[in-house]
Amino acid sequence: MTHSPGRHALAIPGPSVIPERVLQAMIRPAPDIYEGPFVEMVPGLIADLKAVARSRHQAAIYIGNGHAAWEAALANVIAPGDSVLVAATGLFGHGWAEVARGLGARVRLLDFGTAAPAGAQRVAEALVADRQRRIRALLVCHVDTSSSLRSDIAALRRALDESGHPALLMVDAIASLGCERLETDSWGIDVLVAASQKGLMCPPGLGLVFFNDRAEAARARCAPSRYWDWRPRARPESFYQHFAGTAPTHHLFALRAALDMIREEGLEAAWARHARLAAAVWAAADAWGRGGPLRLHLRDPALRAHSVTTLSIGAVHGTRLRRWLTENAGVTLGIGLGMGTKEDPRADGFFRIGHMGHVNAQMLLGVLGAIEAGLTALEIPHGTGAVEAAAAVLAAG
Ligand SMILES: *Cc1c(COP(=O)(O)O)cnc(C)c1O
């Protein structure tokens, strides 16, 4: 085999697979953006978006990727010179911290590495030590897509409450919204950031920011620039204000279709499907690891995200395996993003499997079966029975 005709599988953790129905929803002429069906579609779209985030508060949509949503969220509640506390559990935590620095914030970084979640204890200590209440917000990724770590957001809320600290809780849910349990309101998240191209199954291009009244109160201090200001987007006096100009028309058609799909499946059913698919990946990895160097990056299943899995496979094998799969099996796996070490600066020993959004058992078994073929072809030692183990998990439902 030197090339692989047939449908190519993209198993990277975003952009995720776009369903046919979402693609089809975009194939239509440009709509009128001043009145008519398109304008009438948007309020329901925002209501459904809030339902997926489990928020009854406000939502603003920006034309931009996750980085834009990071900046949008911060620009509304952080003024130059303000301090933010960042609990980083991988590359994306550090990335958000960089954006905060770029806006003139003083960043106090709690680096949890890539193998431990954002610990409420250390966060609480940092908050208690901040006697002058300089910290305006705690920033954390619900799921950091580089390490595939999930942090306990409700526990961080408790740390904030128990220390009596008024900082806002700002959560990046770009890799978890629509994929696993995320309760914006009941977990006490003040600002939630998301994007269209992961669990929401759409092309990249929509940055989403959800915010409550506490966050809105903080905005008054910050005087965000006209473009980033979330208020006119969330409570527009005219349709034109929703998007600070022309609406991202076809992205919104796509999002409408994706939200319909989530509603038809049921949000909790979608979470359960992601949990099952993740468990199938873990079962396969455990089986491979019994006879070779392949390992799940995170030992403790309770810390592993349900939307993405980070694996290590020693030395250069991660990159070799990815190349082999792309060239011979029609599967593209994710790179070992942000997992570099002194010995392996480019993280060639790591790879990631994205299993977020529009993924089902046969797609995942195809990816796992292709990895099995790659391990065999490259003579990378591995245990047997991985695909059977994954199938058994999927059969158990
Ligand atoms: C993908 C991702 C981002 C970055 O999103 P972009 O659209 O690439 O800017 C940020 N945070 C997390 C957790 C992500 O998964």
pLDDT tens by residue, 273-292: 999 999 999 999 999 999 99
Pocket test for ligand 1, best of 16, 92, 148, 355 (most atoms within 8 A of CB): 92
**168 with 188: CB under 8 angstroms?**
no
What is the token pair recorded at 1?
């085999």
* pLDDT of 199: 98
Q: Stretch 287-298: mean pLDDT, rounded?
A: 98
Query: Which residue of 61, 153, 170, 174 sits with most ligand 1 atoms within 8 Å of its CB, as the best mutation to test the pocket?
Result: 174
Whether the full predicted model's pTM is greater than 0.95, yes or no, is yes
How far apart, in Å, are the Cα atoms of 296 and each of 30, 149, 153, 201?
46, 12, 23, 25
Going by alpha carbons, the residue nearest to atom 4 of ligand 1 is 66
Which residues line the pocket of ligand 1, CB cutoff 6 A? 14, 65-67, 92, 141, 143-145, 172, 174-175, 195, 204
Q: Among 45-49, 69-73, 238-242, name the one with the lowest average pLDDT.
A: 238-242
Q: Using an 8 Å Cβ cutoff, are 299 and 312 in contact?
A: no
Ligand 1 nearest-atom number relative to CA 68: 9
237 Cα–ligand 1 center, Å: 31
Distance CA 371, CA 352 (A): 12
Q: For residue 63, give both structure tokens.
A: 């034309």
| Cα 273 to ligand 1 centroid, rounded to whole Å | 22
pLDDT for 112: 98
Query: What are the pLDDT digits (tens) for 142-165?
Result: 999 999 999 999 999 999 999 999
Q: Residue 2 — very low, low, confident or very high, per pLDDT cuts 50/70/90?
A: low
Helix (H, G, I), strand (E, B) or coil at 211: strand
What is the reported pLDDT for 27? Answer: 98
Which one of 62, 99, 145 would you pick to mutate in the ligand 1 pocket, going by the greatest count of ligand atoms within 8 A of its CB?
Answer: 145
Structure tokens at 372: 């099995």
Q: How far does the chain reach from its first CA to its final CA, in angstroms? A: 34
Nearest residue by C-alpha to atom 6 in ligand 1: 66
All domains in the chain, ordered by first residue: 9-16+266-396 (3.90.1150.10), 31-263 (3.40.640.10)
Q: What would the pLDDT profile of 197-218 be if each residue is shown by its tens digit?
A: 999 999 999 999 999 999 999 9
Structure tokens at 331: 């599967």
- pLDDT at position 84 is 98
Per-residue pLDDT averaged across 279-308, rounded?
98
Q: Is the pLDDT of residue 1 over 70?
A: no
Chain-wide mean pLDDT for the chain?
97
Instruction: Write the pLDDT tens digit of every residue in 18-44.
Output: 999 999 999 999 999 999 999 999 999
Tell me the average pLDDT across 307-319. Answer: 94
Strands of the sheet containing 83-88, edge to edge, are: 58-63, 206-211, 191-195, 168-172, 135-141, 83-88, 106-111
